[in-house]
Structure 1
Amino acid sequence: MKLAPVFWAFTSLQSLVTALSIAEINGNTFISLLSGKEVTDVTGLLIAKGPNGVWIRSTTPDDDEATSEAIYVFGRNVTAALTVGDIISLDGKVTEYRSNANYIYLTEISSPKNVQVVSSGNEVTPLVIGKDTLSPPTVQYSELDGGDIYSLPNAVANISEVNPVLDPAKYGLDFWESLSGELVTVKAPRAIKTPNKYGDTWVVGDWEITGENEHGGVTMSDKDSNPEVITIGSPLDGTKNPTDSKMGDQFEDITGVVQQTFGFYAILPLTALKTTTLATAAAPPTTLVSQGKCKALTFGSYNVENLSPTSAHLPDVAGHIVEYLKTPDLVFIQEVQDDSGPTDDGVVTANGTLTALVGAIKSRSNVTYAFAEVEPASNEDGGQPGGNIRVAYIYRPEVVSLYKPNQGGANDATEVVAAQGKNNSDRAPALSFNPGRIDPANAAWESSRKPLAAAWMAKGSKKPFYTVNVHWSSKGGGTSLHGDRRPPINGAVDARMAQANVTGVSSNFHCG
């Protein structure tokens, strides 16, 4: 590991660091080597104001792409009397701040004092990303990921402990850190996902992008989780970003400051995002067509997100199955709640939920689905307390039907039953419970939904086919892709690996 250069001198009595540039304070690492030191006579151009501080840019920039020329000055007492375009000098303390132990630290100057306005009315010009700066790297996040952000084990190193020298041309986190505190402009920004409830929106600009897809978003691939995308956070002027934008929407050019906030690098815009061009559609419908028999069947999968008979989004789910999935012959459904939804009243049946869903589908398409599920034991399958989520199937009975149906219970483990009989349909393996759960007593499924296996016979077929509907443990509990721990912690990875092994090679689900 290369050692970062040391950029300061100080008096042994007062430990004061004097007359340094902002680039020297930031240094070329994530953590400033001056952290905890008092600095004096720091001079910079005020480039943006926020509710709790200001951002200043060095008036004596260096030529090192790894050192940011800007820094955040935290102090509510300094903002009111200052104006963007002021060149100021101040004293303060170099501080590394984060609100969560899993976040990357933000280098800032805190407790500012002796703030002096040197001059006013100076021009403030943002740096255009990819033109005045390097372009964001497109594959790797950090040298501490070992070449693969998804590799195991997780959290083998912390950025805050190793404090690597920045390589902004190669690593995404290093790139955004090298611009920390800077006023930047994103040209031709495009939303690559829907915003969160606060209006924070992930975008890409006019730089190189990997994994672009036909929906207007970007697709993650092996070892590539797109470090070139950046989130646009809360506007500094108190306005609100739109919360109804969608994947593929285009915005006006965005200008704001780069800041590590809530576990991610973000650009905090000077004012709210403004949409210029709306995407034509959220997603194109499928072009797959069923022949209504075994030669060409259509399948779909839909996580219906805590669906109950009274869910406000139930009509949307039905509409999506009709309009986008084109009423597949067989649909794998996840997160079906019981008939009373999240009310913890001992109800476990989802007959009402599934009846409401297939009824809503029929009203839009005149297609009548049947459904198959196995009721869980109350509060044993995780999810929203009282909701009793489970996986289920809906299917078009004129096209497919359960092969030798024999529905199991919550604790019944289905097994493959050897073929019996002389007829073609009897010479195929069956399931002891159809539909039935896979090894529901296994510890891998503690407080988690159990997979549902089923055997089916398609119209015109002489032999059945088999499906397993899975919804493994939530990946909650992981850490940010932009976080301190490298590689990031993949929440529930151990539980999901155990569940994958049980699903694939369970001794209770094999053909003898």
Structure 2
Amino acid sequence: MKSASSMRWLATSLLAGVATAVSIGEINGDKFLSSYNNKNVTGVTGVVTAKGPSGIWIQSTGNGTSDGIYVFSSTLAKNTSIATGDVLVLSGKVSEYRSSSAYLYLTEIISPKVTAVLGHGKTVLPLVIGKDTLSPPTKQYSSLDNGDVFGVPNNQSLISKVNPVLDPENYGLDFWESLVGKLVTVESPRAIAKPNQYGNQWVVGSWATTGANDRYGLTLTSKDGNPEAIIIGDPLDGSKNPKDTAIGAKLETITGVVTYAFGFYSILPLTNISVVEPLAPALPNAVSLTSDGKCSGLTVGDYNIENFAPNDTKHVQDIAHHIVDYMQTPDLVFLQEVQDNDGETDDGVVDSDITLSTLAAAIATLSGVTYNYTYIVPVNDKDGGAPGGNIRVAYLFRPDVLQLRNPNPGSSTTANEVLAGPELKYNPGRIDPTNAAWDSSRKPLAAAWETLDGNNTFFTVNVHWASKGGSSSIQGDARPPVNGALAARLAQAEATAKFVAQILAEDSHAKVIVAGDFNEYPVVKPIENFLSLSGLKDLDVVAGIPEVERYTYVFDMNHQELDHMFVSPALASKCATSKFEHIHVNTWVPYDDQVSDHDPSVAKLNLCKYH
């Protein structure tokens, strides 16, 4: 571990940028960046602990220390006369390397020369994380985050500029930085996220964690982005990690070297990950909430169906299967990422009647349930998403249960208004579509509905706020990390909330449901502002869903909730008996098996006039 004692600078030896007899500990120091950066060093002694395709890792041998460092040299990596256990004396130049300005630096030795080989076959025992080391901190990433890794404003400081003294007991980045270059072991590892396309796998070991859900993943919660997780990278022996490891699987003990690359701290294992025991069941049960077919118990679903186009027959069938067999054909379904009739062909087509009717037909074939649909055509190429796809939000609804109240669709650019009653000027109609907040983003679609049993009226707003594109790594240089398009979502939250507040100003007892892909966590400013300004309640809270079970998406190490359903006070009251469930049909499975990158959710609500 980097320590203050290892920072004793050999000032008298630093002549013309050259240091003599420098230890690995002195090179590393007790900060993120080495004070020896860009200086030539000699007499660096260490035992080879691992070899990779482009370099080797060495650790110091004296005084019981275990300071490690990466030596960048494909020549040494390919030199068959150098083996693990060899004790080398090196000269070279200290360098701080990163492949992107958004990342942290990796301290390494470049242009090395082996000046002596002092021995062979020396054993280096790996440090067992949490036993031979401190346990990883479980909440805070950096002293520069001001206590909230999701805080606003973002990007207020850079680790590369401040270069703080490491505090591995309290901060996750500092903890992993203190282990960079060292040989470590993860005991009792468990997969907490699905592997990426390269087989890189996020895990935790036998140490304490926070945010653990019933699937053994870690859920993002207030001010807690789970810094105790570590990603297992490419095996150093050239083998491959499995790409189909399911979340929650128990893994074999992992030993490897700690490094930093592509925006994250990682362990490069000596050999590939091996699954000991997968977690069952592989898929969740269907939602337990089914419609009563009348206003006292209607079901409302929400699903981002990820670039849904009618020409992708398999995707159509898979989404239809989810709506029928997992969501249990809700009475009303909020959909996001509905593409136009010819998908990602940028030819000016914007209608999506074929897209939605194809989905409705597939559902009817599977279940016999008939759905109608409604949406507003967007302006060509103005709503973001895949080029040419013209994604938009839309509704499916069961015409045997409910209908639009006084249908009067607006246009792509006409702003809906709340009239006395309350009533909507356009039904359905878009919310403030010419507002700059919606540039290259989907416009919310407001609608008024009435049930067929007694004309019970309620209002909905279907949203798909700006994506997080442009965000920086949670383990990157910017602190707090950049939350991409935050300003846009703040403006979108205000516009959406203002519209909802107008409905409730007309009737405080109005039943309002706002749902969709908000592209934001419930503990971050856009959602907090939206709830405060609109007067709505989080249905997760109303329904009593445990905080760690509130997730619809998996990204990096975190299970997170980007998709939400919010309801007005009339639907949040005790007598409303509102219920809500997330169906983890996509987050639990490997990437190749997921139908969408989001999970669907279903609520059961009492939408009668009086209850």
1:375 and 2:377 matched = yes
Query: For residues 425-449 of structure 1, what are the alpha-carbon distances to aligned partners after superposition, in whole Å with 9 as ceiling and x for unaligned?
Result: xxxx221111110011111111111
Partner of 1:135: 135
Structure 1: where are the runs of 5+ without partners? 420-428
Question: 1:362 and 1:240 mapped to 2: Cα distance?
Answer: 43
Question: 1:487 and 1:332 mapped to 2: Cα distance?
Answer: 33
1:105 and 2:105 matched = yes
Question: 2:450 and 2:16 mapped to 1: Cα distance?
Answer: 83
Question: 2:286 and 2:202 mapped to 1: Cα distance?
Answer: 24
Partner of 1:278: 278
Partner of 2:58: 56
Q: 1:434 aligns with which of 401, 407, 427?
A: 427
Which SS does the other structure have where 2:350 is aligned? coil
Distance 1:97 1:210, change over 3 A: same
Residue 264 of structure 1 and its aligned partner are, at CA, apart by 0.7
Q: 1:22-171, aligned counterparts within 5 Å?
A: 22-60=24-62, 69-79=67-77, 80=79, 81-171=81-171
Which SS does the other structure have where 2:333 is aligned? strand
Which SS does the other structure have where 1:47 is aligned? strand
Partner of 1:333: 335
RMSD, matched Cα: 2.0
Partner of 2:403: 401
Question: 2:217 and 2:352 mapped to 1: Cα distance?
Answer: 35
Q: Is residue 130–residue 207 contact of structure 1 (8 Å, CA) maintained in 2?
A: yes
Question: 1:21 and 1:346 mapped to 2: Cα distance?
Answer: 65
TM-score by length of 2: 0.78
Distance 1:492 1:202, change over 3 A: same
| More moved, 256-265 vs 241-250 | 241-250
| More moved, 176-185 vs 118-127 | 118-127
Stretches of 4+ aligned residues off by more than 6 angstroms: none
Question: 2:261 and 2:130 mapped to 1: Cα distance?
Answer: 22
Q: Tell me the amino acid that sits aligned with residue 340 of structure 1.
A: D
Question: 2:206 and 2:369 mapped to 1: Cα distance?
Answer: 45
Residue 319 of structure 1 and its aligned partner are, at CA, apart by 2.1
Q: Is residue 4–residue 30 contact of structure 2 (8 Å, CA) maintained in 1?
A: no
Structure 2: where are the runs of 5+ without partners? 507-611
Partner of 1:268: 268
| More moved, 243-252 vs 29-38 | 243-252
Q: Is residue 88–residue 114 contact of structure 2 (8 Å, CA) maintained in 1?
A: no
Q: Tell me the amino acid that sits aligned with residue 297 of structure 1.
A: L
Residue 179 of structure 1 and its aligned partner are, at CA, apart by 0.4
Residue 104 of structure 1 and its aligned partner are, at CA, apart by 0.5
Residue 140 of structure 1 and its aligned partner are, at CA, apart by 0.3
Query: For residues 432-482 of structure 1, what are the alpha-carbon distances to aligned partners after superposition, in whole Å with 9 as ceiling and x for unaligned?
Result: 111110011111111111001111112434431111111111111011000
Q: Tell me the amino acid that sits aligned with residue 412 of structure 2.
A: A
Partner of 2:445: 452
Residue 377 of structure 1 and its aligned partner are, at CA, apart by 1.2
Question: 1:359 and 1:190 mapped to 2: Cα distance?
Answer: 42
Residue 355 of structure 1 and its aligned partner are, at CA, apart by 1.6
Which SS does the other structure have where 1:470 is aligned? strand
Which SS does the other structure have where 2:94 is aligned? strand
Which SS does the other structure have where 1:313 is aligned? helix
Q: Is residue 104–residue 484 contact of structure 1 (8 Å, CA) maintained in 2?
A: yes
Distance 1:508 1:292, change over 3 A: closer
Q: Tell me the amino acid that sits aligned with residue 62 of structure 2.
A: T
Q: Is residue 22–residue 58 contact of structure 1 (8 Å, CA) maintained in 2?
A: yes
Q: Is residue 302–residue 332 contact of structure 1 (8 Å, CA) maintained in 2?
A: yes
Question: 2:201 and 2:395 mapped to 1: Cα distance?
Answer: 34
Q: Is residue 92–residue 113 contact of structure 2 (8 Å, CA) maintained in 1?
A: yes
1:214 and 2:201 matched = no
Residue 32 of structure 1 and its aligned partner are, at CA, apart by 0.9
Query: For residues 111-158 of structure 1, what are the alpha-carbon distances to aligned partners after superposition, in whole Å with 9 as ceiling and x for unaligned?
Result: 101343211112232211111111111100000000001111111111
Residue 61 of structure 1 and its aligned partner are, at CA, apart by 5.0
Q: 1:390 aligns with which of 389, 392, 401?
A: 392
Q: 1:460-499, aligned counterparts within 5 Å?
A: 460-499=453-492
Q: Tell me the amino acid that sits aligned with residue 286 of structure 2.
A: P
Question: 2:404 and 2:12 mapped to 1: Cα distance?
Answer: 79
Question: 1:119 and 1:151 mapped to 2: Cα distance?
Answer: 51
Partner of 1:424: none
Residue 260 of structure 1 and its aligned partner are, at CA, apart by 0.6
**Identity percentage over the alignment?**
54
Partner of 1:313: 315
Residue 16 of structure 1 and its aligned partner are, at CA, apart by 2.1
Question: 2:45 and 2:132 mapped to 1: Cα distance?
Answer: 22
Question: 2:205 and 2:295 mapped to 1: Cα distance?
Answer: 46
Distance 1:173 1:10, change over 3 A: same
Which SS does the other structure have where 1:490 is aligned? coil
Query: For residues 273-329 of structure 1, what are the alpha-carbon distances to aligned partners after superposition, in whole Å with 9 as ceiling and x for unaligned?
Result: 112222222444322232222212222211111110123433222222223322222
TM-score by length of 1: 0.93
Query: For residues 380-412 of structure 1, what are the alpha-carbon distances to aligned partners after superposition, in whole Å with 9 as ceiling and x for unaligned?
Result: 111111100001111222222212112222112
Which SS does the other structure have where 1:257 is aligned? strand
Question: 2:438 and 2:323 mapped to 1: Cα distance?
Answer: 29
Q: Is residue 29–residue 164 contact of structure 1 (8 Å, CA) maintained in 2?
A: yes
Q: Tell me the amino acid that sits aligned with residue 172 of structure 1.
A: G
Distance 1:185 1:459, change over 3 A: farther
Residue 3 of structure 1 and its aligned partner are, at CA, apart by 9.5
| More moved, 403-412 vs 484-493 | 403-412
| More moved, 276-285 vs 378-387 | 276-285
Which SS does the other structure have where 1:331 is aligned? strand
Partner of 2:244: 244
Q: Is residue 236–residue 271 contact of structure 2 (8 Å, CA) maintained in 1?
A: yes
Distance 1:507 1:402, change over 3 A: closer
Aligned length in residues: 498
Q: Tell me the amino acid that sits aligned with residue 329 of structure 1.
A: D
Q: Is residue 293–residue 461 contact of structure 1 (8 Å, CA) maintained in 2?
A: no
Distance 1:9 1:451, change over 3 A: same
Q: Is residue 151–residue 487 contact of structure 1 (8 Å, CA) maintained in 2?
A: yes
Question: 1:297 and 1:185 mapped to 2: Cα distance?
Answer: 52
Residue 12 of structure 1 and its aligned partner are, at CA, apart by 5.3
Residue 71 of structure 1 and its aligned partner are, at CA, apart by 0.6
Partner of 1:425: none
Question: 2:448 and 2:479 mapped to 1: Cα distance?
Answer: 43
Residue 187 of structure 1 and its aligned partner are, at CA, apart by 1.6
Query: For residues 35-80 of structure 1, what are the alpha-carbon distances to aligned partners after superposition, in whole Å with 9 as ceiling and x for unaligned?
Result: 11111111111111100000111102567xxxx7111000111121
Distance 1:12 1:206, change over 3 A: closer
| More moved, 115-124 vs 433-442 | 115-124
Which SS does the other structure have where 2:144 is aligned? helix
Residue 415 of structure 1 and its aligned partner are, at CA, apart by 1.2
Distance 1:476 1:25, change over 3 A: same
Which protein has the bigger helix share? Answer: 2
